[in-house]
């Protein structure tokens, strides 16, 4: 943008300078009163315009660099838990000190250098440090020896550490398991810190909308250059063939008689006219409009507590962080949202509300006296040992429970049953751990109570744990066999709980002979905890209520043509109940194929998955890979897909989707690194707000394009016709440059201040291949441009008579006429800016009084352009001419009202030309057109 504007200004300044040097400046008499003053005034105006342009651009670039610097600082400000004095605290990564104990779990990023003091099945991905795609496993141990060189004969894909190599490097990620590390180095004293100190990060990305706008600007600029070249050739031929005449009727160029200096002066004037046309054609404000619109919209979104760029100084009051600016625009075009259930559609505030134990449903799930002593003992033992959460009891007796929402719900239930967390954990030692993750949907632990007694506890998805159970504890605490009738009874209990929107978790137990357990560290590394022949201890139902307002948000998405799909790890009954409660499913319109389990979806062929994905609303018992397959199927249909995720294994789906949305509360660092937007409050309503604001950004850009095109098309046609017919232009280059500079900047900001309206969420999403300039916009541009061109050309050719200026000198009359043309041109743009607010609405004044900034900018635009006459080379007008110019601008309002009654085809104009090309005999575009049509139909079907 700066290069195009600077080149135009430089060429124009050169032209004016040469013209003055040859003595022709007197013919350009403007506000200065004739002679050399007009030329000098125009040169000064050009210099001032050039200075203002560079000042605005430099200020914008400087602010943008500061924003990216702040963005980088906030991006690295990760919140995590540390253990100090036996108590867990949430601190910033910048506040970690040597000696802190940091809990690590799957998906976390190692925040500092340290040594592992306790861990279970811990595997570390060191590819970010070593550059090799391998997972380094770390075994459980409690003492740390001096660091030694890692054995070089280990396999490439799986390298295990032992007690001699317990060291963890910051920047690596936890691939599996969990444990606690002791911090030994922070900041620049870590391997990662030394590496990052020598690396600078560049975040100056160009968004897709900016790319499209640059394409539009380039195309218009090429048209302007082509027209300018044609005009240049025509005027040069006309001049040197003796067809160009002066005002008194004399021929300007006569071969053999005209002096070289005069001929050169005439040639320079022709070049000036051509450059003027280029200045008119180049839409300098388009890239600037994107910057202004995005910047203002982001600030408004922050105030709306809907969205904040990571460069905002305080992010504690907002609900989202944007890692990639392009996601804001893309989110406005989303056609489907694949959302998690827990924490996104629900509150993530879990409580055990039902319990089935001892072969019966407990009246009160938190009353320990309803359980047998053995059942109570085994349950509390399993809850205390098989968990990644913790319980801290302060000196004054206050209890703090930490962990995931599910873990906290179960730990709270265990405390109500009389669990003594620290005592139970100190009475046994952990032999092996099978960590829980979203792929396995269960976790187990083997603990040694004595030299001959090992207990194995399993916890996880109720139906999966139940399938591994062959016995159960009855009401008296004795072990009974599970016969088919009992199995059906247990399954019915799970289905009943799931039908009440409860998450079902089962607890299983078995004993293991110590002789069958591993003895050495190497044997423990290879030992797989037995998961068969379990004794069912209990089945609990955990309530996680839907978030307030989530049903309204889902309905809003449906009206906006955005289909919401729920992808959850819960069983199909729970998933269905939650989907009905949230409004994703309608009990009156349940269609076959709307609900499916992940295992059924993953076995389908690629073609079948695409067919099923179109009508799919709920995927239950899904794994992260199932979510990835669903995203791929939807994208191949032409959908713009947004995906929410929180786990490490969700990273592929987040990366594959058009917009990845990571959870700020439950999301792991791996998921956040793969996402485009981080939802700080894990709330689905925040996702809908992003869609709303994304559409507003796109709509505001389209409004400015309509406004800008009208200015450029009208000015281009006026100057081309006038230059070819009369050899001069009514709108000078400095006037047009000044109008573009001020009206582009302030016009973009005025239209950017338009807040999102409810009707934005009643339109269908903007497709991948939908044109940036719609048929409605073309209609409005053409109608307004025809009006402005007609009026201004009439004034240009017969303005002296129409304005009653015949009694003045010819030079003064020309100055007044050109000033009036310029004044009328500006008034038309000011009034037309109101039309651009509502391109497809009859009432263009709806909400305008509430947008004080818009009104202020409109007034400032008119004052700056009109009353800084020295820049625009204008003269003073009478009040009658002022009223006349305002009246000409006012006509654009009723004209816009009438033009909006004209119907426009739904098919974009560009599509007609594309079809003509496709339908040519032997045309090469037929297959592409067919694919485009199929993609559009699939996208529309999915949206419906």
How far, in Å, CA of 227 to CA of 239, rounded?
18
At a CB cut-off of 8 Å and minimum separation 6, what does 548 contact? none
Beta bridge partners of 619: 567, 596
Whether 220 and 282 have beta carbons less than 8 Å apart is answered as yes
Give, for 46, the enclosing helix (H) or strand (E): helix 36-75
Whether 337 and 653 have beta carbons less than 8 Å apart is answered as no
Q: Is 577 helix (H, G, I), strand (E, B) or coil?
A: helix
Query: How many CB atoms sit inside 10 A of residue 183's CB?
Result: 22
Whether 646 and 671 have beta carbons less than 8 Å apart is answered as yes
How far, in Å, CA of 920 to CA of 913, rounded?
11
Q: At what angle do helices 684-726 and 208-240 cross, to 10 degrees?
A: 0
How far, in Å, CA of 612 to CA of 592, rounded?
10
At a CB cut-off of 8 Å and minimum separation 6, what does 687 contact? 337, 339, 344, 553, 642, 644, 661, 679
Helix count and strand count (H, E) for the chain: 31, 27
Which of 929, 938, 927 is CA-nearest to residue 910? 929
| Residue whose structure tokens are 């660099």 | 65
DSSP 851: -
How far, in Å, CA of 841 to CA of 833, rounded?
14
Whether 712 and 680 have beta carbons less than 8 Å apart is answered as no
- Phi and psi based region of residue 124 (left: phi greater than 0; alpha: psi -120 to 50; beta: remaining): beta
**Is 340 designated active site?**
yes
Query: How many CB atoms sit inside 10 A of residue 141's CB?
Result: 19
Beta bridge partners of 596: 619
As given in the structure block, the two tokens for residue 31 are: 């506000």
As given in the structure block, the two tokens for residue 942 are: 């999915």
Percent helix, strand, coil in the chain, to 5, is 50, 15, 30
How far, in Å, CA of 493 to CA of 463, rounded?
10
At a CB cut-off of 8 Å and minimum separation 6, what does 774 contact? 702, 908
Return contacts of 579-586, CB within 8 angstroms, 24+ apart.
579/617, 579/618, 581/501, 581/546, 581/551, 582/345, 582/546, 582/550, 582/551, 582/554, 583/550, 583/551, 583/554, 583/555, 583/558, 584/345, 584/554, 584/617, 584/618, 585/617, 585/618
Catalytic annotation, pick one of 340, 531, 682, 815: 340
Angle, alpha carbons 668-670-673 (nearest 5°): 110
**Cα 240 to chain center, whole Å?**
58
Which of 436, 1, 365 is CA-nearest to residue 177? 436
How far, in Å, CA of 793 to CA of 714, rounded?
10
Number of C-alpha atoms within 13 angstroms, CB side, residue 24? 18
Whether 717 and 261 have beta carbons less than 8 Å apart is answered as no
Phi, psi of 886 (to 5 degrees): -65, -40
List, by residue number, the catalytic residues. Answer: 340
């Amino acid at each position: 943008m700066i290069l195009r504007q600077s080149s135009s200004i430089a060429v124009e300044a050169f032209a004016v300078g040469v013209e003055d040097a040859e003595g022709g400046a007197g013919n350009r008499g403007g506000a200065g009163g004739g002679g050399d003053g007009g030329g000098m005034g125009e040169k000064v105006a050009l210099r001032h315009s050039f200075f203002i342009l560079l000042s605005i651009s430099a200020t914008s670039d400087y602010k943008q660099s500061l924003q990216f610097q702040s963005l980088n600082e906030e991006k690295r400000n990760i919140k995590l838990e540390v253990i100090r004095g036996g108590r867990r605290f949430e601190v910033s990564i910048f506040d970690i000190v040597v000696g802190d104990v940091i809990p690590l779990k799957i998906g976390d990023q190692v925040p500092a250098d340290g040594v592992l003091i306790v861990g279970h099945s811990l595997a570390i991905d060191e590819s970010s440090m070593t550059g090799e795609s391998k997972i380094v496993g770390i075994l459980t141990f409690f003492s740390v020896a001096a660091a030694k060189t890692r054995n070089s004969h280990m396999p490439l894909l799986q390298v295990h550490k032992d007690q001699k190599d317990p060291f963890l490097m910051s920047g690596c990620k936890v691939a599996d398991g969990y444990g606690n590390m002791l911090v030994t180095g922070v900041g620049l004293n870590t391997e990662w810190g030394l590496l990052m100190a020598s690396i600078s990060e560049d975040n100056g990305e160009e968004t897709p909308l900016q790319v499209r706008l640059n394409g539009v600007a380039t195309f218009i600029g090429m048209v302007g250059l082509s027209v300018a070249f044609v005009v240049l050739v025509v005027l040069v031929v006309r001049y040197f063939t003796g067809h160009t005449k002066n005002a008194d009727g004399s021929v300007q160029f006569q071969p053999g008689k005209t002096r070289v200096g005069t001929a050169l002066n005439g040639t320079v004037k022709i070049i000036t006219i051509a450059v003027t046309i280029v200045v008119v054609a180049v839409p300098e404000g388009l890239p600037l409009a994107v910057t202004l619109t995005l910047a203002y919209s982001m600030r408004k979104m922050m105030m709306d507590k809907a969205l904040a760029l990571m460069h905002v100084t305080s992010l504690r009051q907002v609900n989202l962080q944007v890692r990639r600016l392009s996601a804001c625009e893309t989110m406005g075009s989303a056609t489907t949202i694949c959302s998690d259930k827990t924490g996104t559609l629900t509150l993530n505030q879990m409580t055990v509300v039902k319990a089935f134990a001892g072969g019966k449903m407990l009246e009160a799930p938190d009353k320990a006296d309803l359980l047998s002593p053995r059942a109570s003992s085994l349950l509390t033992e399993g809850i205390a040992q098989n968990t990644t959460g913790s319980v801290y009891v302060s000196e004054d007796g206050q209890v703090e429970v930490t962990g995931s929402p599910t873990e906290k719900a179960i730990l709270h239930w265990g405390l109500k049953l009389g669990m003594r967390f620290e005592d139970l954990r100190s009475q046994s030692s952990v032999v092996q751990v099978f960590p829980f993750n979203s792929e396995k949907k269960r976790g187990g632990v083997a603990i040694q109570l004595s030299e001959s007694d090992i207990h194995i506890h399993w916890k996880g998805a109720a139906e999966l744990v139940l399938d591994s159970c062959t016995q159960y504890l009855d009401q008296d605490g004795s072990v009974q066999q599970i016969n088919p009738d009992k199995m059906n009874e247990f399954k019915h209990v799970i289905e009943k709980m799931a039908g009440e929107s409860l998450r079902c978790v089962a607890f299983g137990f078995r004993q293991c002979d110590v002789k069958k357990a591993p003895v050495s560290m190497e044997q423990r590394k290879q030992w797989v905890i037995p998961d068969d022949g379990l004794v069912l201890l209990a089945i609990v139902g955990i309530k996680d209520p839907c978030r307030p307002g989530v049903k309204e948000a889902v309905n809003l998405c449906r009206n906006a043509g955005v289909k919401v799909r729920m992808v959850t790890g819960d069983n199909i009954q729970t998933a269905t109940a939650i989907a009905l409660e949230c409004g994703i499913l309608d009990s009156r319109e349940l269609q076959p194929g709307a609900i499916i389990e992940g295992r059924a979806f993953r076995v389908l062929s690629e073609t079948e998955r695409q067919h099923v994905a179109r009508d799919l609303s709920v995927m239950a018992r899904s794994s992260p890979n199932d979510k990835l397959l669903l995203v791929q199927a939807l994208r191949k249909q032409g959908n713009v897909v947004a995906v929410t995720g929180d786990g490490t294994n969700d990273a592929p789906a987040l990366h594959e989707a058009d917009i990845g949305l990571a959870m700020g509360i439950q999301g792991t660092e791996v998921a956040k690194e793969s996402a485009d937007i981080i939802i700080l409050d894990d709330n689905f309503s925040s996702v809908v707000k992003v869609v709303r604001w994304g559409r507003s950004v796109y709509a505001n850009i389209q409004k400015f394009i309509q406004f800008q095109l009208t200015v450029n098309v009208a000015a281009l046609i006026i100057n081309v016709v006038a230059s070819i017919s009369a050899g001069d232009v009514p709108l000078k280059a400095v006037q047009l440059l000044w109008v573009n500079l001020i009206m582009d900047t302030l016009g973009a900001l005025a239209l950017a201040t338009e807040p999102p309206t409810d009707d934005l969420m009643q339109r269908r999403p903007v497709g991948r291949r939908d044109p940036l300039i719609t048929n409605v916009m073309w209609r409005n541009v053409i109608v307004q441009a025809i009006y402005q061109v007609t009026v201004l050309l009439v004034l240009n050719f017969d303005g002296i008579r129409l304005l009653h200026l015949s009694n003045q000198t010819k030079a003064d009359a020309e100055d007044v006429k050109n000033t009036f043309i310029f004044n009328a041109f500006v008034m038309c743009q000011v009034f037309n800016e109101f039309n651009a607010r509502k391109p497809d609405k009859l009432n263009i004044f709806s909400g305008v009084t509430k947008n004080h900034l818009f009104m202020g900018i409109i007034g400032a635009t008119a004052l700056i352009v009109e009353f800084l006459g020295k820049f625009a080379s204008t003269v003073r007008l009478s009040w009658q001419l002022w009223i006349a110019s305002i009246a000409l601008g006012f006509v654009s309002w009723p004209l816009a009202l009438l033009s909006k009654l004209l119907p426009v085809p739904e098919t974009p104009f560009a599509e007609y030309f594309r079809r003509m090309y496709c339908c040519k005999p032997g045309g090469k575009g037929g297959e592409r057109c067919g694919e485009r049509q199929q993609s559009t139909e699939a996208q529309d079907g999915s949206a419906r």
